[in-house]
């Protein structure tokens, strides 16, 4: 038995002739994928490959995240809540992988990074259109961000389209309205190209869902899934900030921002603020509506 030589038998049926058959590498277009790592440092720095692959794998996962989130948004529009939540469940796993992945890049020391940072010019993750697209789908719209993509027609077109489209949160709130929840009309009519801003009038609607979870189970479950999405997103941002602090300290960014201080401010951005605000209200007496003025 070959196993005694610590060698596995080559099963008789194993296919070896791929002249006329689809192969692994062909199906996955590995030729393209594996020829896309092109270090710019000269002489080539050993650690630049790590830097490139960390970014490329992130972009691949972002591509899938966007695919799933856009689909979840469309499913909500079609009143298919359980199917939408299935998509969100997958996104949560991708986010965990992306957050965990920071530990690989954290093995890059400040000295090593400084040795090839100069070759990166003004390129920066700030110019990641897929990252911006995910922020837009989740409702953190910012028209100003489009200016970075003036010279990239594909990225610009995608971001413009997502800017104009309702976010996943807009679609969820519309779904709630259609299924009997008292979502105020001004929310349903809002300008969806603007960043979502905390709306006090929505907190009572969410509170009703949380206080009668049994009878609002699917809406309640969806709210909790959205909170997971937001929390996971913030954990990624936090790990990015920590990686930045340990590799470049307080240096300004290659993209032109103040660097760590700029990234710190992103931790204050929020996607679903009412889903957090409701936690303060649960079990408290209802907030009186303000007296109408004049
Ligand atoms: C040593 C590693 C890294 C450093 C030192 C670093 C540094 C920075 C800095 C300073 C910024 C602010 C923009 C600027 O002025 O350049 C930034 C933004 C950004 N970086 Fe990184 N980064 C690192 C790794 C990564 C990785 C692996 C990704 C994954 C794609 C990434 C994605 C982003 C994104 C999406 C932004 C925009 C964030 C926002 O707008 O809030 N970065 N990065
Ligand atoms: N902004 C980083 C450079 C950087 O990290 C980067 C450069 C090119 C492509 C992606 C990058 N990642 C995140 O910003 C810096 O200031 O060192």
Encode pLDDT of 165-186 as tens digits: 999 999 999 999 999 999 999 9
Domain 44-116+126-281 grouped into CATH 2.40.100.10: no
- List the one residue out of 276, 244, 273, 246 whose CA is nearest residue 257: 244
- Residue 144 Cα, ligand 1 centroid: separation in angstroms? 18
Tell how far the Cα of 139 is from the centroid of ligand 1, in angstroms: 21
Closest CA to 208 of 270, 272, 287, 271: 287
Residue 77, both tokens: 């529009």
The ligand 2 atom at the shortest distance from the C-alpha of residue 253 is: 16
Give the per-residue pLDDT at 29. 98
Q: What percent of the chain has pLDDT over 70?
A: 97
pLDDT at 3: 79
Residue percentage of the chain with pLDDT more than 90: 95
What residues contact residue 235 under an 8 Å CB cut-off, 6+ apart? 95, 99
Return the closest-CA partner of residue 138 out of 236, 262, 257, 54: 236
In sign, the C-alpha dihedral spanning 206, 210, 216, 220 is positive
- Taking the CB of residue 57, how many other CB atoms lie within 10 A of it? 14
Give the residue-averaged pLDDT of 211-220: 98
Residues 81-86 have a mean pLDDT of: 98
Nearest ligand to the C-alpha of residue 113? 1
How far apart are alpha carbons 80 and 26 in whole angstroms?
Answer: 36
Structure confidence by residue, pLDDT tens digits, 232-259: 999 999 999 999 999 999 999 999 999 9
For tokens 């920066």, name the residue: 124
Following DSSP, what letter does each residue of 181-221 receive, concatenated? ----HHHHTS-TTSPP---HHHHHHHHHHHHTGGGGHHHHH
Q: Which of 228, 68, 69, 61 is nearest to 128 (CA)?
A: 61
pLDDT of residue 293: 58
C-alpha distance across the termini of the chain, in Å:
93
Ligand 1, pocket-test mutation among 106, 125, 237, 265, most atoms within 8 A of CB = 125
- The two structure tokens encoding residue 91: 């996104």
Looking at residue 153, what is its pLDDT? 98
Predicted confidence (pLDDT) per residue in 91-128, tens digit: 999 999 999 999 999 999 999 999 999 999 999 999 99
From the CA of 251, give the closest atom in ligand 2: 16
- Residues having CB within 6 Å of any atom of ligand 2: 55, 117, 120, 123-125, 248, 253-255
pLDDT for 294 beyond 70: no
Identify the pLDDT of residue 139.
98
pLDDT at 68: 99
Q: Is the peptide bond before 140 cis (omega within 30 degrees of 0)?
A: no
The confidence band for 263, taking pLDDT boundaries of 50, 70 and 90, is very high
Nearest-ligand number for the alpha carbon of 56: 1
Nearest to 225, CA basis, from 26, 67, 47, 83 = 83
**118-168 pLDDT, tens digit each:** 999 999 999 999 999 999 999 999 999 999 999 999 999 999 999 999 999
Tell whether ipTM is more than 0.95.
yes
Find the 265 Cα to ligand 2 centroid distance in Å. Answer: 17
- The pLDDT assigned to 189 comes to 98
Alpha-carbon torsion 128, 130, 135, 136, what sign? Answer: positive
Tell me the mean pLDDT in the region 192-214: 98
Q: What's the mean pLDDT when you consider all of the chain?
A: 96
Q: Residues marked as binding for heme? A: 240
Ligand 2 atom with minimal separation from the 126 CA: 14
| Confidence band, pLDDT 50/70/90 cuts, at residue 213 | very high
For the chain, the C-alpha Rg in angstroms (whole number) is: 24
């Amino acid at each position: 038995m070959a196993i005694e030589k610590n060698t596995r038998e080559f099963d008789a049926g194993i296919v070896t002739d791929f002249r006329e058959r689809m192969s692994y590498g062909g199906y996955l277009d590995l030729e393209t994928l594996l020829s896309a790592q092109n270090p710019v440092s000269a002489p080539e720095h050993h650690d630049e490959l790590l830097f490139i692959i960390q970014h490329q794998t992130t972009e691949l996962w972002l591509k899938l995240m966007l695919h799933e989130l856009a689909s979840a948004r469309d499913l909500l529009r079609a009143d298919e809540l359980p199917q939408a939540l299935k998509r969100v469940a997958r996104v949560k796993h991708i986010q965990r992988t992306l957050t965990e992945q920071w530990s690989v890049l954290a093995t890059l020391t400040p000295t090593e990074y400084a040795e090839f940072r100069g070759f990166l010019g003004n390129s920066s993750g700030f110019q990641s259109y897929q990252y911006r697209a995910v922020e837009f789908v989740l409702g953190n719209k910012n028209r100003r961000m489009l200016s970075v993509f003036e010279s990239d027609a594909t990225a610009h077109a995608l971001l413009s389209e997502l800017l104009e489209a309702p976010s996943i949160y807009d679609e969820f709130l519309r779904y709630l309205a259609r299924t009997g929840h008292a979502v105020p009309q001004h929310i349903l009519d809002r300008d969806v190209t603007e960043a979502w801003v905390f709306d006090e009038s929505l907190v009572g609607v969410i509170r009703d869902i949380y206080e009668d979870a049994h009878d609002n189970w699917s809406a309640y479950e969806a709210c909790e899934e959205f909170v997971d999405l937001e929390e996971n997103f913030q954990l990624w941002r936090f790990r990015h900030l920590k990686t930045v602090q340990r590799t470049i300290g307080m240096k300004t960014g290659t993209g032109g921002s103040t660097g760590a201080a700029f990234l710190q401010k992103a931790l204050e951005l929020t996607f679903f603020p009412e889903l957090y605000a409701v936690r303060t209200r649960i079990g408290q007496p209802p907030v009186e509506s303000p007296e109408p003025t004049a």
